[in-house]
Amino acid sequence: MSLARQKQEAANPLRSTDRHDFLTVAALALAPAVGLGIARFAYALVLPDMRADLGWTYADAGRMTAANALGYLIGALFAARTISAGGAFRVMVSGAFACVVALGLCAIFRNDALLNAAWFLAGIGGSLAFVAGGVLATGIAQRHPARASFLLGLFYAGPGLGILLSGVGVPLVLEQLGPGSWPAAWTVLAVLSLPLTFGLWFAKGEMRPSPAAGQERAPVRRMAFLLVGYFIFGAGYIAYMTFMIAWVQNQGAGAGFQSLFWIAIGLAAMVSPWLWAGVLKRRLHGRAFATLTGVTALGAALPLLSGAKPVLLASATLFGGAFFAVVAATTAFVRPNHGRPASAS
């Protein structure tokens, strides 16, 4: 591709990028919308009513979050083998449907152990859907080098869509139906997820990744500091996304503001891949990761300074606009380091 053509694509991404590939990546973005935006983060919206109705402590609530995180970790560890055996598309769709099933089970169960098991299943399904969808989105992006960042950004905007949709419906449903209506909220989440999951069929394409994919050994020692930082970041953002709605509710905010707060996170997350594109390109050697985790930490700290609604909305916007971009920053760090000689600086 000539330099002039690449510049033309960069200036006109939607007109020059193959329409079919653009629509395919948009459909692939529905995988993280279901697997992360709804089947991981929407628990925060339902949690306050569940705690009040089931008599849970914050430790009980945290165990359900831990079950989801454990499922997500297990899914991520086995994703490469699963994709190699079954094909990326099948794994993605199966993971998304597992999330829908898990959401439906959460609407039925009242027993703590069964709820934890259902949310564990959502973690596995969400991880497989996200990783497999990412494999397919990356393959498409590689066919359009000049617009690879745009296409991957479109995929990474998916979780924000799921957060936005759940924020629109769940708080208002809980307010209308009153205390103890959390099973109805889980039902709403399952209903929202189902058409998004069927939408993945518009992304049907490559069924399995390249045989060579994932065969190289990752230079873990070279990336140790970043991996430790990512672990700490993960613990922090999961805590925020689990308990922040309870915090907002404790500040006296009603369902309308809770919905607005969650929508602000979702909208900010949707635009974050393009908002931070320049930082990801210019900040090398892990500096983008440091910058974005710093912005995320600032957003998370704002509610400690004030419970005023403008401050809470600023927290939602800053946090939502940066926390998922940290994933992209981690990818931006790992990719150039992967496969380099161990002696490289």
Same domain, 194 and 236: no
Amino acid at 254: G
For 234-253, write each residue's pLDDT tens digit.
Answer: 888 888 998 899 899 888 88
Segment 112-156, tens digit of pLDDT: 999 999 999 999 999 999 999 999 988 888 887 777 777 888 898
> For residues 274, 231, 287 and 291, what is the CA-based torsion angle, rounded to 10 degrees?
60
- DSSP code, position 38: I
> What is the reported pLDDT for 213?
46
User: Do residues 223 and 200 both lie within one domain?
Assistant: no
CATH of the domain at 69: 1.20.1250.20
In a domain, 6, yes or no: no
Q: What band does 290 get if pLDDT is binned at 50, 70 and 90?
A: confident
Please check whether residue 125 is in contact with residue 98, taking contact to mean a CB–CB distance below 8 angstroms: yes
When pLDDT is averaged across residues 67-80 and rounded to a whole number, the result is 93
Predicted pLDDT of residue 211: 46
Greater confidence, 326 or 90? 90
Same domain, 275 and 232: yes
Distance CA 127, CA 132 (A): 8
**Structural domain total, the chain:** 2
Please say if the pLDDT value at position 339 is more than 50.
Answer: no
Report the C-alpha gap between 13 and 26 in whole angstroms.
14
**Full residue range of the structural domain in which residue 35 is found:** 19-211
Contact 85/138 with Cβ under 8 angstroms? no
Q: What is the pLDDT of residue 16?
A: 47
Q: Tokens 């597992």 correspond to what residue? A: 98
Helices and strands (H and E) in the chain: how many: 17, 0
Q: Let me know if residue 14 belongs to a domain.
A: no
Answer whether 151's CB lies under 8 Å from 144's CB: yes
Asked whether residue 166 is domain-assigned, the answer is yes
* C-alpha distance from residue 7 to each of 1, 12, 145, 279 (Å): 10, 9, 11, 20
Question: Cα(196)–Cα(198) distance, rounded to whole angstroms?
Answer: 5
pLDDT of residue 340: 44
Confidence of residue 218 (pLDDT cuts 50, 70, 90): low
| Residue 95 forms part of a structural domain | yes
Whether 79 is covered by a domain: the verdict is yes
Shared domain check, 233 and 147: no
CA dihedral sign of residues 325, 170, 38, 55: positive
Alpha-carbon distance 124 to 126, whole Å? 6
Same domain for 100 and 166: yes
- Does one domain contain both 85 and 124? yes
Q: Residue 219: pLDDT band by 50, 70, 90 thresholds?
A: low
Which pLDDT does position 171 carry in this prediction?
Answer: 92
Compute the distance between CA of residue 294 and CA of residue 137 in angstroms, rounded to an integer.
Answer: 28
The owner of tokens 């934890």 is 116
Phi, psi of 220 (to 5 degrees): -60, -40
In a domain, 13, yes or no: no
User: Which range is least confidently modeled, 12-21, 158-167, 168-177?
Assistant: 12-21
Tell me which of 165, 182, 211 is where a domain ends: 211
105 falls within a domain: yes
Q: Please state, rounded to an integer, the average pLDDT across all residues of the chain.
A: 84
Residue 281's closest CA among 141, 130, 153, 136?
153
- Compute the CA torsion angle 60, 62, 67, 69 (nearest 10 deg): 180
Percent of the chain topping pLDDT 90: 55
Domain end call among 176, 211, 246:
211
Please check whether residues 302 and 160 belong to one and the same domain: no
Residues 112 and 207 reside in one and the same domain: yes
Same domain? 227 vs 152: no
Contacts of 341 by beta carbon, 8 Å cutoff, 6+ apart: none
CA dihedral (40, 256, 326, 134) positive or negative: positive
Last residue of a domain, one of 165, 186, 211: 211
Residues 179 and 283 occupy one common structural domain = no
Assess whether pLDDT exceeds 70 at residue 5.
no
- Average pLDDT on 296-306 reads 92
**pLDDT of 100 over the 90 cut:** yes
Q: Which tokens hold the place of 172?
A: 């208002």
Contact 315, 248 (CB under 8 A): no
256/277 Cα distance (integer angstroms): 32
Nearest-angstrom CA–CA distance, 199 and 97: 12
pLDDT confidence bin for 318, thresholds 50/70/90 = very high
The model's pLDDT over 168-192, given as tens digits with 9 standing for 90+, comes to: 989 999 999 999 999 999 999 999 9
Show the tokens assigned to 76.
Answer: 């991520």
The whole-angstrom separation of Cα 252 and Cα 138 is 44
Position 12 in a domain? no
Q: Which two tokens stand for residue 335?
A: 């990719």
> What are the Cα distances from residue 273, in Å, to 110, 258, 268, 279, 318?
38, 25, 10, 10, 13
